[in-house]
A and B are shown apart, each in its own frame.
Chain A
Amino acid sequence: MTDRPLDILIDECVLGLAGDDDIARLEAMAASDPMIAARLDIARQKFAPLDATADDMPLPDDFWVRIDARLDGQSDMDAPVATADRAEVVDLNAVRTQAARWRVSALGGIAAALVMTMVLAWSFMLPQEQAVVAVLLNDRGEAIALVEGMPDNTTRVTLLETQNVPQDKVMQVWTKPEDDGPPVSLGLLDTGRSRTLTIDGLPSPNAQQLYEITSEPEGGSPTNLPTGPILGKGFAKEPLI
């Protein structure tokens, strides 16, 4: 079932139709990719009004006492939780450990790429100074693109590696202007080459803003949210110019 589009996987996990392994896979993806986490949250919010249709039932008098008594002890739930709970919600610690390892290997790449960014910025003598710069890394920690966000939301995307995007797919550039908001499309790299994208109506880019390039169907994502595999992603920094 690994070929199932991500949207279906997300919806089926939220509805309760997915198996434990699918839930685990999705939670792991969400833990390492804020864009997927945002999509998962949007899907949960979509069905949440149905929770509000349940009766608001009176709790038994001793309800809190029974919960309170279990907060210290590990014993009462550990047995069932160790088996049932593991399958139910993913152990994020394992995921975090993996993410931490990935981060360490990526940091070297980021540092090297940032130095290169500085060199590029100086040598190009840009007419307009960037508000932020982000180096997008693939899942192997290799820099695949340099993103320069201008204060007026012009975004220059310089590809650093040729991407093997299938014939019927196109690269789409995304950002998350607000931490807790949905990803927003900045545009398509439909020629498969570097280009400058312009978009109206967004706030000026800020440090720590997430940028991402995904592979999407021709014409761009049909849902206006990233659906395809991530080619590279990275957080923005303000250049020290």
Chain B
Amino acid sequence: MTDHARLIKACAAGDRAALKRLMDAEGGRMLGVATRMLRRSDLAEDAVQDAMVLVWRRAAQYDPDRGSASGWVYTILRNRCLTMLRNEARETPTAPEMIDETLESGVLDTAWDRLDTASDLKRCLEGLDDGTRRAILSSYVLGHSHGEIAGRMKAPLGSVKSWVRRGLSKLRECLS
């Protein structure tokens, strides 16, 4: 079992210090992930706090045989961020002029530059055409939906969906 898995197990047994250690170890990076997706620091902080509380409440459900501990924690965080993004979009429609594409582009470029050049993911993403790679990165990094990607790429929704699927198939082949 990894250290994180042990901490989650301790959380399940009611050990608050274990949750704090998990927060000390991962909280900063989690806040970074949430900020990229939600853009507002207050929302990002809420998302990380919600995620930590959910980790605490669901710790007993975590099964180390079914996946890595950090994967489990980040999945909870990312799903929380996506829910907040989708709810926010429903409640306050973003005016087109509010979409800062330069900022988004910068975030994606930074993520791309920082992605370890020796990693298989980087090598395999490099094999995709620019548009498809960008679409896959903006869904994972920015939390964009198919519709949001289509809007920014000024492409029909159906085409974006099939580009992404083709890209994902290529990635899968390349990474297997």
Contact = CB atoms under 8 A, between A and B. Distances in A.
A88 B139 contact: no
B7 interface: no
Interface string B65-79: 111101100111011
Nearest to B173: A223
A87 B83 contact: yes
Interface in B138-158: 139-141, 143, 145-146
B28 A58 contact: yes
A52 B49 CA distance: 19
A160 interface: no
A68 B22 CA distance: 13
Contact of B139 (A15, A49, A57): A15
A223 B20 contact: no
Contacts of B116: 49, 52
B94 interface: no
A38 B58 CA distance: 20
Nearest to A36: B66
How many interface residues does chain A have, given as a range? 35 or more
A70 B54 contact: no
A50 B49 contact: no
Most chain A CB inside 10 Å of its own CB: which residue of B52, B71, B119, B136 = B71
B36 interface: yes
B111 A17 contact: no
Nearest to B34: A54
Contact of B111 (A44, A50, A68): A50
Contacts of A7: 168-169, 172
Interface residues of B, number: 65
B176 interface: yes
B16 A60 contact: no
Contacts of B50: 77, 81
Interface in B34-82: 35-36, 45, 48-50, 52-54, 56, 58, 61, 64-68, 70-71, 74-76, 78-80, 82
14 contacts: A7-B169, A11-B171, A11-B172, A16-B139, A37-B65, A47-B140, A50-B115, A51-B74, A53-B110, A59-B48, A87-B83, A89-B54, A223-B176, A224-B176
Interface of A: 7-8, 11-12, 14-17, 23, 30, 34, 37-38, 40-41, 44-60, 63-64, 66-68, 70-71, 77, 81, 84-85, 87-89, 92, 179-180, 222-225
Interface of B: 16, 19-20, 23, 27-29, 31-33, 35-36, 45, 48-50, 52-54, 56, 58, 61, 64-68, 70-71, 74-76, 78-80, 82-84, 87, 110-112, 114-116, 119, 121-122, 136-137, 139-141, 143, 145-146, 164-165, 168-169, 171-173, 175-176
Which 9 A-B residue pairings sit nearest by Cβ, starting from the closest? A54-B32, A41-B67, A55-B32, A53-B114, A56-B28, A37-B66, A57-B31, A44-B71, A53-B111
Given A7-B169, A23-B79, A63-B49, 15 more contacts: A8-B165, A16-B139, A34-B66, A44-B75, A50-B111, A51-B29, A53-B115, A54-B29, A54-B33, A54-B111, A59-B31, A66-B49, A70-B49, A71-B16, A180-B65
